[in-house]
Structures are given as C-alpha cells and as structure tokens.
C-alpha cells in the first residue's frame, strides 16, 4: 500500500510505516495536481497538515483513497463527513501537539508583558544610539503571576495551556460548552502530582474578568471575539490566538489596540493566511509567529508516531 505524506511527516513515522510494509512518499504535490498524482500512483492513504485541502471534489476524483490523515488537531481543511460517507477512514492526532501550542502561547504572553516583540524590532536599529530611552520605554512591564488567564476552548490544547498558567501562578478560568467541569493534573520532574478543579465560565464573565485571553477553538462561522466582546474587556487585556484565523475580528482588534483596550496581541494564525494583512504585520503591539504552534521537533515525532500507529491498525 502507498502513503502520500503531502505536507511532510517525521522520520520515525516513515520508519514505522515502512517496517509495516507500506511505501511512503513524501513528495509535496501542488493542490491542483494532487488528484492526478494520487490516481497515477494509486495512493491508498493521504496525509496532510494545514496546507493541503481535501474537499469533496478531490475525494470524488480519487477512488483509490482508503484513508485521510491530518497531522494535528483541526480538520477544517478536510470534508470529514463526506469522506466518511464514502467509507474512507479519517484520522488525526488531537493530543500530539498540545504542549507545543501551549508553550507558544506562553512565549507570546511572556514576550507581551515585557514588550519583547517590540524590543527585538528596535534594539537592532537603536540599541547602540538610544539605549537609555529604549530602557525607559520597556521598563513598565508586568508579571503574569497573580493575573487571570481566560481560555476559550478547553480541549487538549486548552488544558495544556491551563497547566502552564497554573504553573506560572495564574488564576485560570475557561469557557467551553462541551466541558462543564475539568480536573487539571500537574506532573512534576520528581513524580509528584497536584490536581486542580476548574469550573466552566460564561463567555461574558470570562471576557469581563480576564487579564489575558487565549483562544483554542476550531474554525467558526462568525467571530468569537469581535468589536462588542473587545469593548467589554478589561482595559489593557492581552490576547493570544494560536487556534484559527477568523475567530478574532482583526479590524476590531487593531482598533482596540489603538484605543488602549488591548495592550498587546500574540498571533500565530491570521484571517487572510497565508498573506496576513500589512496592518497586522507592521503593528507595534502585535507579537507575530507564522502558524508554528505545533511545529516543534518533539510534536512532529509524536504526530508521526500516532499517524503511523493508526494507519497500521486500520489498513493492515
């Protein structure tokens, strides 16, 4: 059987599948040429990440497909229900990248409260000529400890983010209609474990009380954070979106940054991805990363292993 990992896969995942007798192809095929490639090479399983789209038209055009795999959590780039209606297995790796995304959220948070996103832009330009003024500009940072972190979406990634928040001494609240109560367990280097009971919070309460907000929700039909929600937030709130572009109204976000409602934003995803708006890219109060939440070496190895294990179970 042939596997096409169109958006790449870790070496350990390839090794596991090859040992099980699969042929693994890692050619990156352009979207418009994908159907022809799959049919020409009689591909049995297509593995993607966020770049490749697997829509109804591609599924209909590729009768050899038996499995579609998504390396990661969200599957909004796959017509999942339609694929399943055609008796095609659809798999993903919902837990493999949770810690990686959570750590990126906190990279944005720690950088945000100490202005590192802006200091790293200005120090190369003015560090040798304007050091004292830069020091003065960036000497009004705050601490995360003791502040309230509000998390929208409390699946694997939301809970991993909560663990880091608790570890940093933050009060963590969350909003998720699917998770009424949650028990978070922190495991330490010496084997000790401590559990924390968290309760679901209404959206309006989270927005009103949170000092910092992190989004961990799938693609939505409308904004979760728009002009109205931004107007109800604490003055000086910080917002991080490492979920999906389009869950925050970016026009309203820029306006809130300009009027001081939001002190900083950390964005890993964008409404117009892969071409973010220039107002976002150039804004001095936005910390930027190019959709790399799950892109750590450790996460990619876990993703590769989980995909390989599922494929071997389902197709052998």
Please name the CATH architecture into which domain 98-288 falls.
3-Layer(aba) Sandwich (3.40)
- Active-site positions read 244, 273, 291
In a 3-state reduction of DSSP, which class is residue 271?
A: coil
- 140 alpha carbon, distance to own chain's centre: 29
Angle at 316 between CA 296 and CA 313, to 5 degrees: 50
Q: Closest by alpha carbon to 71, among 90, 51, 48, 43?
A: 48
Alpha carbon distance 72, 98 (integer Å): 9
Contact between 47 and 3 (Cβ < 8 Å) = yes
The contacts found for 30-36 with CB under 8 angstroms, 24 or more apart, are 34/6, 34/58, 35/61, 35/62
Alpha carbon distance 233, 203 (integer Å): 11
Angle at 225 between CA 154 and CA 290, to 5 degrees: 75
User: 214 forms bridges with which residues in the sheet?
Assistant: 151, 240
Is residue 229's pLDDT more than 90?
yes
Taking only the tens place, the pLDDT of each residue in 288-302 is: 999 999 999 999 999
Is residue 282's pLDDT more than 90?
yes
Taking only the tens place, the pLDDT of each residue in 48-67 is: 998 899 999 999 999 999 99
pLDDT band at 74 (very low <50, low <70, confident <90, very high): confident
Contact between 226 and 250 (Cβ < 8 Å) = no
Alpha carbon distance 34, 38 (integer Å): 6
Domain with CATH 3.40.50.720 in the chain: 2-94+297-315, 98-288
Show Cβ contacts of residue 77 under 8 Å, excluding neighbours closer than 6 positions: 48, 50, 52, 53, 54, 70
pLDDT band at 197 (very low <50, low <70, confident <90, very high): very high
Is residue 159's pLDDT more than 90?
yes
Taking only the tens place, the pLDDT of each residue in 76-108 is: 899 999 999 999 999 999 889 999 999 999 999
Is residue 316's pLDDT more than 90?
no
Contact between 196 and 171 (Cβ < 8 Å) = no
pLDDT at 199: 87
User: 89 forms bridges with which residues in the sheet?
Assistant: 67
pLDDT at 72: 86
Alpha carbon distance 127, 84 (integer Å): 57
pLDDT band at 192 (very low <50, low <70, confident <90, very high): very high
Task: Give the phi and the psi of residue 93 in degrees, each rounded to 5.
Answer: -130, 75
Is residue 286's pLDDT more than 90?
yes
pLDDT band at 221 (very low <50, low <70, confident <90, very high): confident
User: 262 forms bridges with which residues in the sheet?
Assistant: 237
Is residue 153's pLDDT more than 90?
yes
Is residue 40's pLDDT more than 90?
yes
What is the fold, at CATH topology level, of the domain defined by 2-94+297-315? Rossmann fold (3.40.50)
Alpha helices for 127-264 (secondary structure H): 131-137, 156-167, 203-209, 227-231, 250-258
Tell me the average pLDDT across 6-21: 96
């Amino acid at each position: 059987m042939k596997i096409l990992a169109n958006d790449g896969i870790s070496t350990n995942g390839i090794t596991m599948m090859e040992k099980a007798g699969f042929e693994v192809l890692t050619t990156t095929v352009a979207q418009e040429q994908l159907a022809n490639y799959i049919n020409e090479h009689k591909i049995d399983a297509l593995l993607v990440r966020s770049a490749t789209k697997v829509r109804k038209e591609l599924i209909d055009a590729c009768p050899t497909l038996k499995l579609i795999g998504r390396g990661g959590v969200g599957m909004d780039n796959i017509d999942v229900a339609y694929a399943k209606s055609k008796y095609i297995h659809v798999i993903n790796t919902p837990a493999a990248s949770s810690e990686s995304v959570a750590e990126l959220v906190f990279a944005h948070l720690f950088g945000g409260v100490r202005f590192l996103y802006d200091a790293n832009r200005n120090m190369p330009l003015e560090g040798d000529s304007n050091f004292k003024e830069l020091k003065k500009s960036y000497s009004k940072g705050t601490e995360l400890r003791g502040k309230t972190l509000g998390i929208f979406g409390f699946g694997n990634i939301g809970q991993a983010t909560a663990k880091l928040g608790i570890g940093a001494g933050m009060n963590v609240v969350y909003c998720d209609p699917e998770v009424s109560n949650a028990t978070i367990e922190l495991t330490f280097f010496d084997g000790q474990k401590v559990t924390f009971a968290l309760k679901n919070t209404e959206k309006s309460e989270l927005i009103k009380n949170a000092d910092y907000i992190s989004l961990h929700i799938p693609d939505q039909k409308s904004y979760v954070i728009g002009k109205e929600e931004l107007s109800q937030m604490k003055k000086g709130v910080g917002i991080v979106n490492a979920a999906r572009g389009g869950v925050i109204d970016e026009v309203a976000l820029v306006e809130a940054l300009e009027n001081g409602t939001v002190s900083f934003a950390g964005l890993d995803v964008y409404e117009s991805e892969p071409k973010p708006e220039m107002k976002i890219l150039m804004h001095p109060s936005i910390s930027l990363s190019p959709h790399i939440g799950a892109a750590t070496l450790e996460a990619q190895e876990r993703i590769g292993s989980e995909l390989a294990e599922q494929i071997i179970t389902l197709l052998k």
